[in-house]
Amino acid sequence: MTMQQYITAYDSTLRDGAQAQGVSFTVEDKLKIVERLDALGISYIEAGNPGSNPKDLVFFERVSALKLKHAKIIAFGSTRKPGISPQADNNLQSLLLAKTKAVAIFGKSWDYQVTDILRTSLAENLNMIADTVAYLKQQGKEVVFDAEHFYDGYKANPDYAMQTLRAAADAGADVLCLCDTNGGTFPDEVFEITKKIVETVNCKVGIHCHNDCEMAVANSVAAVKAGAVQVQGTINGIGERCGNANLCSIIPNLQLKLGLSCIPQENIADLASAARFVSEVANMMFNDKAAYVGHDAFSHKGGMHIDAVTKNPISYEHINPELVGNTRHILVSEVAGRSALLAKIHAVDATLTKDSIETKRLLEHLKSLEHDGYQFESAEHSFDLLIHKLLGRFQPFFALNEYNVSIHEFSANRSNNAVAKVKISVGEQVESVSAEGDGPVNALDKAIRRALERFYPQISEVRLVDYKVRVLDSDKATAAKVRVLIESADQNGSWTTIGVSTDIIDASWRAMLDAIEYKLLRDSQATKHLVAT
């Protein structure tokens, strides 16, 4: 087996990824993602099919003005239609209007697809491939030929599948990309077939996998091991049906595990951030369980695991999370034990050990809170506050004197249906304010902000990112406890806090107060650090 030192990373998020359910990129979205992927060091960005919709033509016109450092933009299309010339094919002419230096063309490599879906002859399909590639090469284009359904086609009729590749290669294709379009091929099959192709054709070979058997990443790596030098995929694996091969896993697998190069080495630490950026722009929930880049990828909860990781991270981590821009998370919970608390405690008091009285007291308090329904795995910032308070290292920024909320019926001329009143003290000064809101939580949020902004103007920087409610003991019906998680953010990052109560307003209020107190604590610590330095 011979492996190349450099593997071309080819991203199809803006074309194949856009075919995922619930994803619809605007032109502005696509431009933002192009710039982000270029900064990451992706070599090729397949950005859309200009023959499929006018929006893509607008995008290609605007993307040409970007000053890209790494990426080459690719327009995507199909071979000419049966029975006409490339010059007469409207889709091909639209492809040329994109004015990209490189294009990707897909053509049928499975005889069944040719005869029963495309409904033309096997010979005409070969002509379509050859004519299209030759025509685009005459226009000065770099051409990637996507052999659609190649692995299924090869297993059904290997001779014809090979003829489609030769037709493209003989016409001047720069890369022959083998596509597992149905996502049903296994890694051993991909390896063996790809190896035969690499040894047979005098052309660069690429791989394009779908994830219908959840093997797209494994299949992509297998193809590279067999000699493929271009690997196609999408950020976070988004795509039609079960998705595409996930570049956020493929790139570190190849680069960190196999010693190959996909993107500049200094950029791989930007991978986790890029993954979250694309998820945000696509308006999709980010997969916290994702390998390498997910929040949970390097999270540890079990006491024995945490103890081992604290001694040496390689005991339960296959790489240093910082290599891909991720971080280690020690999850505090009733099953974690005292060792799990040390990293958190040491941030406040480095002199304490897992056998200290304070550590034992914190663990007992944690168990009591979790018995009441608190769960700090997803709200570690509330736990940070708790440590400061229980160790006597928290100086209150304000005191809450009282609050109340009233709710009234919606009326035709009023959009707000709740009024909150909040009374606080900051030192000797008392502030009492009221605010209307769209619901009690919104009204409380507005009221506490108004009360505090006179004393702490930075409160205005905080925005609500996410709000989650979970019923903990549904058998108690309306008397059940609820757990509220609030994610807040400012220009310096995000933090998550928690509140638990039988009253959803009270649970929300507790999480909201923690969010504000954490913001003020973090800012005050940053200020002290600046003064000290």
- Report the CATH number that the domain containing residue 387 is assigned in CATH: 3.30.160.340
Q: Is the pLDDT of residue 532 over 70?
A: no
Q: Tell me: do 406 and 501 sit in the same domain.
A: no
Place 475 in a pLDDT band, splitting at 50, 70 and 90.
Answer: low
Q: Is the pLDDT of residue 408 over 50?
A: yes
- Interacting residues of 112 by C-beta distance below 8 A, sequence separation 6+: 153, 156
Q: Tell me: do 167 and 104 sit in the same domain.
A: yes
Tokens linked to 432: 């009492």
- Closest alpha carbon to 171 in 197, 207, 145, 198: 145
Q: Tell me: do 449 and 493 sit in the same domain.
A: no
Averaged over 194-206, what is the pLDDT?
97
Q: Tell me: do 230 and 93 sit in the same domain.
A: yes
What pLDDT does residue 368 have? 80
For residue 533, tell me if it sits in a domain. yes
- Let me know: does 359 contact 341? Beta carbons within 8 Å: yes
Q: How far apart are CA 522 and CA 399, in angstroms?
A: 18
Q: Is the pLDDT of residue 129 over 90?
A: yes
Q: Tell me: do 444 and 497 sit in the same domain.
A: no
- Interacting residues of 344 by C-beta distance below 8 A, sequence separation 6+: 330, 332, 380, 383, 384, 387
Q: Tell me: do 529 and 449 sit in the same domain.
A: no
Tell me the residue range of the domain where 359 lies.
Answer: 299-371
The residue behind tokens 């059940």 is: 480
Q: Tell me: do 245 and 360 sit in the same domain.
A: no
Percent of the chain with pLDDT over 70: 91
Q: What angle do CA 192, 197, 201 make, to 5 degrees?
A: 160
Q: How far apart are CA 416 and CA 422, in angstroms?
A: 17
**Run of H or E including 27:** helix 27-40
Q: Tell me: do 24 and 62 sit in the same domain.
A: yes
Q: Tell me: do 432 and 511 sit in the same domain.
A: no
Q: Is the pLDDT of residue 454 over 70?
A: yes
Instruction: Compare 480 and 15 and report the one with higher pLDDT.
Output: 15
Q: Is the pLDDT of residue 63 over 90?
A: yes
Q: Name the average pLDDT for the chain.
A: 89
- Let me know: does 358 contact 352? Beta carbons within 8 Å: yes
Residues in the chain: 533
Number of domains in the chain: 4
- Let me know: does 139 contact 172? Beta carbons within 8 Å: no
**Run of H or E including 233:** strand 230-233
Q: How far apart are CA 307 and CA 299, in angstroms?
A: 13
Q: Is the pLDDT of residue 487 over 60?
A: yes
Q: Is the pLDDT of residue 1 over 60?
A: no
| CA 414 to each of CA 308, 411, 441, 443: distance values in angstroms, whole numbers, following the listed order | 58, 5, 17, 14
Q: Residue 56 class from Cβ within 10 Å (0-12 exposed, 13-18 middle, 19+ buried)?
A: buried
What pLDDT does residue 413 have? 55
pTM recorded for the entire structure? 0.72
- Closest alpha carbon to 14 in 232, 162, 299, 201: 232
**Run of H or E including 275:** helix 271-281
User: In the chain, what's the furthest Cα-to-Cα distance?
Assistant: 90
